[in-house]
Structure 1
Amino acid sequence: MNDVTQASSDKGSNAKIIYILYLASLIFGITGLVGLIMAYVNKADAPEWLKSHYQWQIRTFWMALLYTVIGIITASFLIGFLILLLNVVWFIIRCIKGLSALDKQQPLPQPTSWLF
């Protein structure tokens, strides 16, 4: 394994850890913030294919936070519980899609997408 491949693989492992931290945040909460910080730190010196993952992870965090706030605000109207449930499903799907592309060492085709 040459140095470039090994460096790329090491960077991929950081992105994988971030996805795992995001999924763990569904139970522990604070791990999502740790993952966000790691994504911001690692984004600058990552190879191009990996930058799409970090961008995806950063957007996933902020959009999930936005949807959570909207869900909490509208919970008194009962629609908020549906928003919170759909937010969790959306979050899990984005993490799984990211992990799948990461395992293939492929960039995400639309890292700025709001959906999947």
Structure 2
Amino acid sequence: MTDVPPDPAVPPALQDDKTMPIIVYACYIAGWVTGGVSSIVGLILAYVSKASAPEWLQSHYVFAIRTFWLSLLGGVIGCLTLIIGIGALILIAVGVWVTVRAIVGLSWLLKGEAYPTPRNWML
């Protein structure tokens, strides 16, 4: 685990509070059941929580925010290509991709570590 000095702007009780990023990742995974509506809730929570989070948690919020916007792009491409028959495969692939990213993000979070490459397209 990397030693990240506490951020003086964040109250000590919130320095290691993993609850909100866990909820964000859970919202993304729940997108399979809710048709993506919970992902929008996760996005809003990530944007709201990012500014007041310590740096190591901010990496998880950046990762989650990018996951949403990249999945939206993939979803639009999937919808546009439904006509030619490949869209359904793209939409399924995007859903799996979001789920895998959320699970990998959760694993880093539960280890108490910053996400190492939050701006990557893949993992």
TM exceeds 0.5? yes
2:66 aligned with 1:73: no
- Deviation per residue, 1:94-113 (Å, 9 max, x gap): 00000000001111111000
The alpha-carbon deviation at position 9 of structure 1 amounts to 3.1
Matches within 5 A, 1:57-68: 57-68=64-75
Any stretches of 5+ residues in structure 1 without a counterpart?
none
The alpha-carbon deviation at position 22 of structure 1 amounts to 1.0
Match of 2:107 in 1: 100
Matches within 5 A, 1:1-116: 4=12, 6-10=13-17, 12-28=18-34, 29-116=36-123
- Sequence identity of aligned pairs in percent? 46
Any stretches of 5+ residues in structure 2 without a counterpart?
1-10
Tell me which stretches of 4 or more aligned residues in structure 1 moved more than 4 Å.
none
| Residue identity in the other structure for 2:52 | D
CA contact (8 A) 2:14 2:53 kept: no
Q: How many equivalent residue pairs? A: 112
Q: TM-score, normalised by structure 1?
A: 0.91
The alpha-carbon deviation at position 89 of structure 1 amounts to 1.2
Q: TM-score, normalised by structure 2?
A: 0.86
| Residue identity in the other structure for 2:97 | W
- Which has the larger helix fraction? 1
